[in-house]
């Protein structure tokens, strides 16, 4: 496991990061550092922007309200992003927040809402999704932030997937087989991947048929129990990362 410094606060900064830079901190970030953590001049903070790696910085307080981060040196280089797309039928707010955070922690490189026939929530707050992406990345030492896609119809998203990308779709009506063996037999490690979790009403027959006709597609059951969508996301992404993804190095 790579070394992360969890003792220092980490902040996402949507600005270029280079040695010697000086960045004004405002709003929630400044309030958190000064009021909640009670940090001041000379205290350390780690900065990242999803592009330039992670940088060690020192805080500088000027006057009563101004707070700056003075960038010193790079702590970690920017890693190569993974290639695991997570496709999902949107669910209600609190559980969607949880699902997005766990997908980030589990290494998704793209988050794509998919509107299926039985999707119950069709309006998605993309800014809230992006905020959850940043929060999870800050807390877990992640430097490569996943893209957040605009919601799209099932047909449009399925057409947009490259035929080279292996698509794992979780289907409660599939025959229950050993999921690790099923994944290992169907695809090789290191290929572009996508995981699709449908709505809690399941895929309709037309959608299921379209998925099964697609090349490089694996229909997977997640055991003998019916899982809620957010639980299925964690289970499926963990399985895929362990067998085909980056968990094995």
Check residue 45 and give its pLDDT: 96
Check residue 174 and give its pLDDT: 81
Side-chain half-sphere exposure of 67, counting CA atoms within 13 A: 23
Check residue 2 and give its pLDDT: 55
User: In 7-144, where does DSSP find H-type helix?
Assistant: 27-31, 93-105, 126-140
Task: Please name the CATH architecture into which domain 84-243 falls.
Answer: 3-Layer(aba) Sandwich (3.40)
pLDDT tens digit string along 20-34?
Answer: 999 999 888 888 898
Where do the structural domains in the chain lie, given as residue ranges?
Answer: 10-76, 84-243
> Is 70 exceeded by the pLDDT of residue 1?
no
Selected residue with higher pLDDT from 224 and 136: 136
User: Superfamily assignment of 10-76 in CATH?
Assistant: Hypothetical PUA domain-like; domain 1 (2.40.240.20)
- DSSP codes joined into one string, 135-189: HHHHHHT--SPPEEPPPEEHHHHHHHS-TTSEEEEE-TTSPP--HHHHHHHH--T
In which element (H, E) is residue 231 found?
Answer: helix 229-243
Lowest-confidence segment of 35-39, 64-68, 158-162 by average pLDDT: 64-68
How many other C-beta atoms lie within 10 A of the C-beta of residue 175? 8
Q: Hey, CA dihedral for 247, 147, 78, 31, is it positive or negative? A: negative
Task: Say if CB 125 and CB 148 are below 8 A apart.
Answer: no
Chain centroid offset of residue 11 CA: 17
pLDDT tens digit string along 43-97?
Answer: 999 999 999 999 999 999 987 778 999 999 999 999 988 999 999 999 998 999 9
For the record, the structure tokens of 63 come out as: 């006057």
């Amino acid at each position: 496991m790579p070394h992360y410094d969890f003792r220092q606060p980490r902040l996402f900064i949507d600005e270029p990061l280079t040695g010697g830079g000086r960045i004004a901190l405002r709003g929630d970030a400044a309030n958190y550092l000064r009021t909640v953590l009670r940090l001041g001049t000379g205290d350390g903070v780690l900065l990242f922007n999803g592009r330039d790696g992670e940088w060690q910085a020192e805080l500088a307080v000027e006057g009563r309200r101004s707070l700056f981060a003075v960038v010193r040196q790079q702590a970690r280089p920017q890693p190569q992003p993974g290639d695991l797309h997570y496709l999902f039928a949107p669910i209600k707010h609190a559980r969607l927040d949880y699902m997005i955070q766990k997908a980030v922690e589990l290494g998704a490189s793209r988050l794509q809402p998919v509107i299926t026939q039985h999707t119950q929530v069709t309006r998605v707050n993309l800014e809230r999704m992006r905020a959850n992406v940043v929060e999870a990345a800050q807390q877990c030492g992640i430097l490569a932030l996943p893209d957040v896609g605009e919601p799209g119809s099932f047909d449009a998203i399925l057409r947009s997937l490259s035929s080279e990308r292996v698509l794992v779709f979780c289907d409660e009506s599939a025959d229950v087989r050993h999921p690790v063996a099923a994944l290992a037999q169907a695809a090789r490690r290191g290929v572009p991947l996508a995981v699709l979790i449908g709505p809690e009403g399941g895929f309709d027959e037309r959608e299921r048929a379209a998925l099964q006709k697609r090349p490089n597609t694996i229909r997977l059951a997640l055991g003998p129990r019916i899982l809620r969508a957010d639980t299925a996301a964690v289970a499926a992404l963990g399985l895929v990362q362990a067998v085909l993804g980056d968990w094995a190095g």
